[in-house]
Amino acid sequence: MENPWVYLQSQILSELEQVLKRLEIDTIPSEKLKNLLEEPPDPKLGDFAITMGFHLAKSLKKAPRQIAEMILNEIQLEKLPYFSKVEVAGAGYINFFIDWKKFNITVLNQIIELKENYGNLSIGNGLKAIVEHTSPNPTKPLHMGTMRCAVLGDITGRILKKAGYNVEIEDYMDDLGRQVAVLTWGFLHLDEKEYKSEKSDAKEDFKLGLLYTKASQEIQAKPELENEVQDLIAKLENDDPEFAQVSAELVEKALKGQLETAWRMNIFYDLLIWESDVIASGIFEETLTRLLQSKNVYKVTEGEDEGCIVVDMSEFGETYQQMEKPYKIIVRSNGVATYTGRDIGLHFFKMNLVKGKFKFRKWGTQPNGKELWETTKEGKYFERFGYGNLTINVIGYEQNFPQQVVNHALKITGYEKEYQNSHHLSFKWVWLPGQQAFSGRKGTWIGFEADAALNKAVELALEEVKKRHEGEFSIEVMNQIAESIGVGAVKYYLAKYNPEKKIVIDWKDVLNFEGESAPYIQYAYVRTQGIFRKHQGTIQNPNPSLLTHESEVTLIRLIAKFPRLIHKVATDFNIHEIANYALELADRFNDFYHQVPVLKAATAELKTSRLQLVQAINILLKILLMDLLGIQVPDRM
């Protein structure tokens, strides 16, 4: 029983299909029948309910309740072993009630047996899923906006792995854009001593960010410098050895700082892809040749975009037809590929649709022991990366149109299956207080970089830990606990909102350790640990059928629904639902903890049965926090 809650649904639907056959009713297709099955808001009305009577009333010319009673008379309860009763209610609802004494045993035995593998699904069936996320400009530290991208991408990869996919995590680095050119210009023309001395104890990515901000402001103040920047962009595009080497060294320093921040948040990668290598590998050129065979891709012959090669989206719906320019430029009139053009080439590589290949070399080993590789102009090719069956690009909502162009590039070249399996996980950015956007040029990111948020959160967490444990724990242990709590708080904050919701930073909310926060969930886990420390023994001969208190049934219901949630989120990518589920589980466990005694239960048998339930919650909270959200769980708080 891979998915307990879905199994119950399938039992009901199977029996109802047999009932309809016996009654010779063929007006409800299986898919429609499935859509009619629902869960009442109040379990007292049943665990499942179906409105078949209302749907059949017109065709059968009978009242819905009369039809419901006719169906009820045909239902064979023995075919529904996990249900205690079925009844008709109201104007014609058919309500199904779970036999919790039986279902408890199945659910708890399954999670205790499977442990961290509970909820593992086979929908991926070993297929390759490629998740691209973070993809920052390597000119400054990661700020809270970019970290939202990293957090959503990290959790997406973790969920897909849980669902049975072989997951590859990629970080696409723009080493050719204007921002890199401005940073390089700043390094070459501004006072280098000032750059090196300012905040000398800061991370390299932070110092480079300051340099980038100063260079941007200098160029803005002196418009005549723009020609130098454009000249530098061209030289970097053409891999000019003198300037490319300087640029590469600066980008590498920024990258190391960004990776350190990601690692601190338990976010790791498999492959770094440099944008410049998409061109050097020949992948884009080969992709462009393929694209030009489509009528949707052509060179503009007049107007301001004359000479540019574009992907025309006008045939794909009214939304595009109403745009002033229903196309996206993929090659400029000077023959240089745009970011979107290169992204299409990268996408063709991910799906193994081009003969051109990247060369790879090992970048290093990450703190979790996982090797990190990168594309390179010098290295070797091997069949390890790419070959995706499913791709997810985690990129901000302002890239909706470019991402639609990237995906439709597959469709117009005849790769319909690959098009269907390509997804853009869009999200709205994190905004500064006062609804102000992050700007590297203006320096608004300073003080709101991810490192600053993490440091603030850990500092606050340490204060709380000291209040509880100073003199009991060593400073090293308290620092470790504070790191888990503080980093977890920031990561959960970025994960808990619907991706389509804009986040306006409120430090009180980011650093809140009560309510809707990771520390609240972590504390529920720590509470389960504390119960077992006090128990100091094994769990012998539990009888889950004794767990009939409303708080116990509520927890087991949540446990049973967990695999269904994994299936849903691995399909629709509503990542925040995992964070919300973890919060609900912690909430309901705290209700249970306060409403029924565990170690002082009325009988020894009831005590061991409740301990088994606590063990199940312990397992599930650990899966949610560590395996899916990537948040560490301290043993004590």
Q: What's residue 430's pLDDT?
A: 84
Q: What's residue 506's pLDDT?
A: 78
Cβ pair 481, 172 in contact under 8 A: no
* 430-434, 491-495, 548-552: the lowest-pLDDT one: 430-434
Q: What's residue 193's pLDDT?
A: 55
* 127-131, 385-389, 429-433, 525-529: the lowest-pLDDT one: 429-433
DSSP 382: -
Given pLDDT bands bounded at 50, 70 and 90, which one contains residue 437? low
Q: For 22-75, how does the pLDDT look when each residue is reduced to its tens digit (9 = 90+)? A: 999 988 998 999 999 999 999 999 999 999 999 999 999 999 999 999 999 999
Position 597 pLDDT exceeds 90: yes
Distance of alpha carbon 153 from alpha carbon 488, whole angstroms: 16
Q: What's residue 447's pLDDT?
A: 74
- Crossing angle for the helix pair 241-264 and 226-237, nearest 10 degrees? 90
Q: Where are the domains of the chain?
A: 4-98, 133-431, 456-628
Q: What's residue 195's pLDDT?
A: 57
Q: Do domains 4-98 and 133-431 have the same CATH topology?
A: no
Position 503 pLDDT exceeds 70: yes
Give the number of C-alpha atoms closer than 13 A to the C-alpha of residue 540, restricted to the C-beta side.
5
DSSP 525: H
| Residue 385, SS3 per DSSP | coil
Q: For 113-132, how does the pLDDT look when each residue is reduced to its tens digit (9 = 90+)? A: 999 999 999 999 989 999 99
Cross-strand pairs, 101: none
How much is the pTM?
0.94
The CATH superfamily assigned to 456-628 is Isoleucyl-tRNA Synthetase; Domain 1 (1.10.730.10)
Q: What's residue 200's pLDDT?
A: 63
Question: What DSSP string runs through 161-209?
Answer: HHTT-EEEEEEEE--SSHHHHHHHHHHHHS-HHHHHHTTTTS-HHHHHH
Average pLDDT of the chain is 93
Q: What's residue 8's pLDDT?
A: 97
Given pLDDT bands bounded at 50, 70 and 90, which one contains residue 454? very high
Given pLDDT bands bounded at 50, 70 and 90, which one contains residue 246? very high
Q: What's residue 237's pLDDT?
A: 84
Q: What is the mean pLDDT of residues 394-420?
A: 96
Given pLDDT bands bounded at 50, 70 and 90, which one contains residue 382? confident
Q: What's residue 438's pLDDT?
A: 57
Q: For 470-488, how does the pLDDT look when each residue is reduced to its tens digit (9 = 90+)? A: 999 999 999 999 999 999 9
**Residue 155: what residue type?**
I
Position 459 pLDDT exceeds 90: yes
Position 194 pLDDT exceeds 60: no
Fold of 4-98: Gyrase A; domain 2 (3.30.1360)
* Helix, strand, coil fractions of the chain, as percent rounded to 5: 55, 15, 30
* Residues composing the chain: 637
Position 442 pLDDT exceeds 90: no
Please give the CATH architecture assigned to the domain spanning 133-431. Answer: 3-Layer(aba) Sandwich (3.40)
Q: What is the mean pLDDT of residues 90-105?
A: 96
Given pLDDT bands bounded at 50, 70 and 90, which one contains residue 248? very high
